[in-house]
Each structure stands twice: as C-alpha cells, then as structure tokens.
Amino acid sequence: MNAAYKKPFIKIISFFGKKIEKKRFSGTPIYIGGCGRSGTTLLLSIISSHPDIFACPNELGMFNNTYEKDGKIYPARKDRLHRTLLFNKIKKSATRYCEKSPSNIHHINDIDSYHDGDFKFIHIVRDGRDVILSKHPTSPDTYWVNPDRWINDVSAGLKEIDNPKVHTMRYEDLTGNYEETISKICKFLDIELTDEILNWHKHTEVRKNRAYFGEVKPVFKSSVEKWKKPEFKERVEELTGRPEAVKLLKYFKYEI
C-alpha cells in the first residue's frame, strides 16, 4: 500500500482497535518471549485455551521499535495489536490479551515502562542443543537458530530472573510434567487452573502457525534430547564448545 494511503488507514485501525482494547481488556496483559524454537508458540496455544485470555494468533513484534515520550517508552507498532483485535474473534469471557514474540525477551524493560509495571511475562527456555537442531520451515536444509542466538536470547532473559513480573520456565518441564508446570504458570498469571487449560488441545484457539509446520500437535516428549543422536554430534559441539553456552546449560540444570 502506498505510504500516503497507509498512514490514515493505520489511524482508522488504531481508533477502533483502541476502543476494543479499552472495552474488552481490563486485566493485566501477558507477554511471552524466549529464543525461537523453544516452545513459545506451544505455550501461546496452551494459554489461548483459558477462558480469561485472548491470544494474538500471530507474532506482533510491537516492541522491536519504540519511541520515548515524557519519560515513557511506547511501541511504534501498537497498531498491529489493534488490527489483531479488529479482525479476530474474541471470546466473550476474555479480559486479558497475550502476545507472543520471541524477540520480547530483549524488551522486558520497554514493556514494563509502557504498562507502568502492570504486566506479566513468561520466559520459556529449552535445551540449546535441541534448539539449534530445528530446521527452518521454508528452507528445510537450513537450521533455524544458530548458537549465538540461543546464548544471547537466554542470557537476556536470565538478567530478569529475579523480576517478580517475569516467570522463567523450561520447555522440558512443560512436556514432561504438564499439570505441575501449568499449575505454576496459572498461579503466576493469577488465573484459575481450569479444565480447558488442563485439556488445552481440545480448546486451544491457536491451531495454525508456521512454527508447527502445519496444525497444532499434542505435547510429546519425543522432541526432547534429540541432540543425543550420533548424527548431530558435530552440530551440537558448535554450541557446547562455547563456555558461555555450557554455563547456561548448567544453570538451567541440563545434563552436560
């Protein structure tokens, strides 16, 4: 769309989107972040099943570009949220929205500033050796995440480990001990542990995403410790040869 026409269109979107946001979402917003291929989309799908929460089906990256006004940070592309609210069905029971972008992990302070401290953030971590083995959906011969990205993203989240607004969790706990892990998440988010979220696969509202390579699938442990297969030895050593990566793996209690 021509820039001359795009700007007024964005203003219209924002005008009506703001009305929906103000009318429908009285509760604390929720953000998910973490290194790509660490389960951010899975977690969004699970949370979307809860009656109280509307999950934005696509990554918005609202805080990738920001500006400052009167000492406060604002997302430059808040219109992406407003467009999402306008063009997606919102269940009547939802009072909070949840937005997932892996890059959010680098913008926790900006999110804090924009919401005046009234937000919840979930940082999901996955064993980096499995993360770097994931292939890109549009380029099957290419790995999606390189070792540097895993180290940088996890390190960014680790800086907020003591932040009461941030809940840090492991992907392997979600897949290996679902009920206990989701109970902790619900407690952190101040939401009830409902039948819908316990049986999320039947109730999720985020069923399609390129991260799934198609339709949403149930949680399986088979995606854990793929790195142990001999054919991946050389690739895995690209990560474990980095002292900072080994330190992070040990911190999150992954087998070395």
Task: Quickly list DSSP for 8-52.
Answer: HHHHHHHHHHHHHHHHH--SPPEEEE-STTSSHHHHHHHHHTSTT
Confidence of residue 216 (pLDDT cuts 50, 70, 90): low
Asked whether residue 192 is assigned to any structural domain, the reply reads yes
Give the pLDDT of residue 217: 60
What residue numbers bound the domain in which 105 lies?
A: 19-212+219-251
Average pLDDT estimate for 240-246: 98
Quick: pLDDT tens for 43-80: 999 999 999 999 999 999 999 999 999 999 999 999 99
SS3 83: helix
Asked whether residue 3 is assigned to any structural domain, the reply reads no
Q: Render 135-191 in DSSP notation, one character per residue.
A: EETTEEEEES--HHHHHHHHHHHHTTTT-TTEEEEEHHHHHHSHHHHHHHHHHHHT-
pTM of the model: 0.93
Task: Judge whether residue 212 has pLDDT over 50.
Answer: no
Asked whether residue 8 is assigned to any structural domain, the reply reads no
Confidence of residue 10 (pLDDT cuts 50, 70, 90): confident
CB distance 39 to 174 below 8 Å: yes
Provide the CATH number for the domain around residue 145. 3.40.50.300
Average pLDDT estimate for 232-240: 98
**Measured distance CA(94)–CA(3) in Å, rounded:** 34
**Measured distance CA(94)–CA(122) in Å, rounded:** 19
CB atoms under 10 Å from CB of 128, counted, come to 29
Task: Judge whether residue 141 has pLDDT over 90.
Answer: no
Average pLDDT estimate for 163-177: 97
Average pLDDT estimate for 107-125: 98
Asked whether residue 199 is assigned to any structural domain, the reply reads yes
Asked whether residue 5 is assigned to any structural domain, the reply reads no
**Measured distance CA(253)–CA(10) in Å, rounded:** 46
Report the mean per-residue pLDDT for the chain.
92
Average pLDDT estimate for 83-88: 96
- Residue 193, both tokens: 């542990």
Asked whether residue 7 is assigned to any structural domain, the reply reads no
Strand bridging mode 214-215 / 208-209: antiparallel
Q: Which of 185, 126, 188 is nearest to 154 (CA)?
A: 126
Asked whether residue 36 is assigned to any structural domain, the reply reads yes
Asked whether residue 95 is assigned to any structural domain, the reply reads yes
Q: How many domains in the chain?
A: 1
DSSP class of residue 56 equals P
Give the pLDDT of residue 9: 80
> Which of the pair, 213 or 19, is modelled with greater confidence?
19
CB atoms under 10 Å from CB of 151, counted, come to 18
Task: Judge whether residue 214 has pLDDT over 60.
Answer: no
